[in-house]
Structure formats: C-alpha cells, structure tokens
Amino acid sequence: MKQRDQNTATDEKARIEDMQRAEAATRNNEGLDWHPKLFRRVNGGHGGSEEGEEDLDWIINAKVYVVLGALRCSR
C-alpha cells in the first residue's frame, strides 16, 4: 500500500479474505462457537439497546476514543 501498488494490495486482501472464509468454514463444520474480540451481535429490535441498528449484524464491543490524534480501542 505504501508503494501504491493497488494490484498487489488487492491480491493480498483477497488472499486474506479467502483464508478467513476457509477458517470460518472449518469452525462451522466442527461446530465451534466463535466470537470476535472487538465485535458482538447487535441487540436491535423494539426496546433493544441498539434499537434502530437492525440493519447491522455486528457492532463494536469496545470504547473507541482519540488520544492525541491516534485512534485507540479499549475493551
């Protein structure tokens, strides 16, 4: 990306996504219950804590704040 080589960046992104899909399929086939570290399922619907966010599958599960111009996450 620093070299502005969009073709290589696109190829690498696709490689990473393919690997993630394969890992997800393996977890699914083995019946493993997996939860991401920084995201959780949306609690939408009437009266839910994220009412109005029903179009989202996942929502960040961390406090995000800016420190001296840098983005930081805290769980």
Domains of the chain: total: 2
State whether 53 and 27 are in the same domain: no
pTM higher than 0.85 for the full model? no
State whether 28 and 43 are in the same domain: no
Query: How far apart, in whole angstroms, are the C-alpha atoms of residue 19 and residue 22?
Result: 5
Per-residue pLDDT of the chain (75 residues; tens, 9 = 90+): 677 889 999 999 999 999 999 999 999 999 998 888 888 877 777 777 777 777 787 888 877 666 666 656 665
State whether 48 and 69 are in the same domain: yes
State whether 6 and 29 are in the same domain: yes
Q: Which two tokens stand for residue 33?
A: 């219950």
State whether 46 and 75 are in the same domain: yes
Region of 49 on the Ramachandran plot (φ > 0 left; ψ -120 to 50 alpha; else beta): alpha
Range of the domain at 2: 1-34
